[in-house]
Amino acid sequence: MFEYFVSAGNEPFAVDVILTLALVLAVATAFGAGTGFGLGWLFRHGHVPEFLKSPVMLAAVLALYAVVNHFQSEAGLMAVTVAGIVLANYKLRSIEELRRFKEYITIFLVSCVFIILTADMELASLQNLDWRGGAWLALVIFVIRPLSVYLATVGTGIDRRERLLISWIAPRGIVAAAVAGLFAPRLIDNGYADADQLLPLVFSLIAATVVLHGLSIGFISRRLDLAAGKTDGLLIVGASPWSIGLARVLQDLEIPTIVSDAGWNHLRAARMSGLRTHHGHILSERAEQTLEMHEVSHLLAATNNEAYNALVCTRFAPELGRDKVYQLPYLADDEEAGEMARTVRGKIVLGDEHTYDDLMRRHYAGWAFHQTRLTEDYGYEDFLTRAGSEAIPVALVTSKKRLDLFPLHDIEDIGEGDVIISYRKGEASPEGKSMAG
């Protein structure tokens, strides 16, 4: 469309536009693919030190954009996109670190681009927009977007409610702003007097969609029964009798819980209890693609391999947060595991003495999980006094269905209606009766 406006009146117009687009595609693909393969080859064969990979990638992207734009105008953005696609599919071992760096730098650069693009836009330009600008905004938000979503999803099997939500939730952002900032000056130079309204119109659209969609997404998703809810969920890695027992109690308390294990037979008890399970290695690419994590906010690595538990925590810490990944403590006589750096392991759950072997010994000695609901007359201190050393506090589920694992960082917020899950000798009893009763 841009080429149409800047090339209108030239003969033959169609041939010029097709040749220009074909040249842009060819140049961008050639330079972008070459850069992507070159970076991938350098990274894979160790020609770039690990700590320099992210800076080298950033420098290469900036250089690629400048060089390609020098040879063919408007081809730089497509070239760096092609380079990213090639590099992402190069199966590099360090791709996660590169991806995280990309996310960090994106937040910074996008913020800067918004400031730069609006630096020369005056408030008067927004005030000069008339009723036609408002009509255009309404047309884009309420007609064009829903129609495009409907046509794009015909025959896909997507639920009608999901199509409605997608039709409404579509905030515009940095791409629209950058394109408007690039095209508006050239349109003005080509004699289009109203082109100075392009950037104000686009920013009005961005503001309108961010406000309208941001304030309404919760209400609309709940009305369409598509909201995920606000409860905390737990992913337990390692299907042992102890971890499956914990998952059963959490399921009874309506806390989303997934038990993951590479052994099919290990998951048998979990499947028979109606628990959500994941069969496979949690660190595999397949798990990353198939495991539903939208309800998971905590992770507990509970296998009998301390090093593997630490590796799992390291993998999920960037996604869930360092304070939300837990693992069982090391064996007291495992000096190598005990010397493992804190940066590569999760928070120790329960206590240093309650290792995997210790918990399994207690399981075969008849220990089980108990629930204790705190009341106005029976608080946390009363629970500790009554339980003594014969019970191990494991988890806290608040009255608002929030989850936390022991040892707790702050016990002052524990109050009436909260449920303490403890591990103690004796058969599991109904909620509250084992302690409060």
Q: What pLDDT sits at residue 436?
A: 45
From CA 79, how far away is CA 26, in angstroms rounded?
A: 10
395 shares a domain with 300: yes
386 shares a domain with 248: yes
From CA 37, how far away is CA 33, in angstroms rounded?
A: 6
Question: Two tokens at 391?
Answer: 């019970």
Whether the per-residue pLDDT at 421 is higher than 70: the answer is yes
In a domain, 357, yes or no: yes
In a domain, 161, yes or no: yes
Containing 425, the helix (H) or strand (E) segment is strand 419-425
From CA 80, how far away is CA 35, in angstroms rounded?
A: 9
Alpha-carbon dihedral angle through residues 102, 104, 105, 110, given to the nearest 10 degrees: 110
Whether the per-residue pLDDT at 435 is higher than 50: the answer is no
334 shares a domain with 201: no
Between CA 75 and CA 20, with CA 191 as vertex, the angle to 5 degrees is 25
In a domain, 418, yes or no: yes
Whether the per-residue pLDDT at 416 is higher than 90: the answer is no
**For 264-347, where are the alpha helices, taking DSSP H only?**
268-272, 285-290, 306-320, 335-338
- The count of domains in the chain is 3
From CA 142, how far away is CA 145, in angstroms rounded?
A: 7
Q: What pLDDT sits at residue 431?
A: 45
Domain boundary among 93, 119, 145: 119
Domain boundary among 227, 245, 266: 227
Contact 94, 43 (CB under 8 A): yes
Between CA 341 and CA 276, with CA 329 as vertex, the angle to 5 degrees is 110
Q: Which amino acid, residue 138?
A: A
pLDDT in tens, 354-369: 899 999 999 999 899 9
pLDDT in tens, 79-131: 999 999 999 998 888 888 888 898 888 888 888 877 887 777 777 777 777 88
pLDDT band at 47 (very low <50, low <70, confident <90, very high): very high
Whether the per-residue pLDDT at 437 is higher than 50: the answer is no
292 shares a domain with 239: yes
156 shares a domain with 32: no
Cα–Cα distances in angstroms (integers) from residue 175 to residues 133, 138, 171, 202, 337, in the given order: 20, 20, 11, 10, 48
152 shares a domain with 19: no
Q: In 55-74, which positions are buried (b, 16+ CB within 10 angstroms) versus exposed (e)?
A: eebeebbeebbeebbeebeb
Who's near 242: CB < 8 A, 6+ residues apart?
302, 359, 360, 363, 423
Q: What is the mean pLDDT of the chain?
A: 85
CATH number at residue 323: 3.40.50.720
Q: Which domain holds residue 346?
A: 234-425
In a domain, 433, yes or no: no
In a domain, 380, yes or no: yes
In a domain, 157, yes or no: yes
253 shares a domain with 211: no
Highest mean pLDDT among 64-78, 167-181, 200-214, 247-261: 247-261
Whether the per-residue pLDDT at 423 is higher than 90: the answer is yes
From CA 238, how far away is CA 308, in angstroms rounded?
A: 10
Q: What pLDDT sits at residue 214?
A: 86
From CA 106, how far away is CA 229, in angstroms rounded?
A: 29
162 shares a domain with 284: no
pLDDT band at 427 (very low <50, low <70, confident <90, very high): low
Question: Two tokens at 186?
Answer: 């050239």
70 shares a domain with 22: yes
169 shares a domain with 289: no
Domain boundary among 182, 208, 227: 227
From CA 246, how far away is CA 240, in angstroms rounded?
A: 10
User: Considering just the CA atoms, what is the radius of gyration of the chain in Å?
Assistant: 29
In a domain, 436, yes or no: no
pLDDT band at 19 (very low <50, low <70, confident <90, very high): confident
pLDDT in tens, 301-347: 999 988 899 999 998 998 898 889 999 987 655 555 555 556 677 89
Q: What pLDDT sits at residue 332?
A: 54
Q: What is the mean pLDDT of residues 11-30?
A: 79
299 shares a domain with 199: no
What's the predicted TM-score (pTM) here? 0.71
159 shares a domain with 56: no
Highest mean pLDDT among 162-171, 178-187, 356-365: 356-365
In a domain, 91, yes or no: yes
Containing 23, the helix (H) or strand (E) segment is helix 13-44
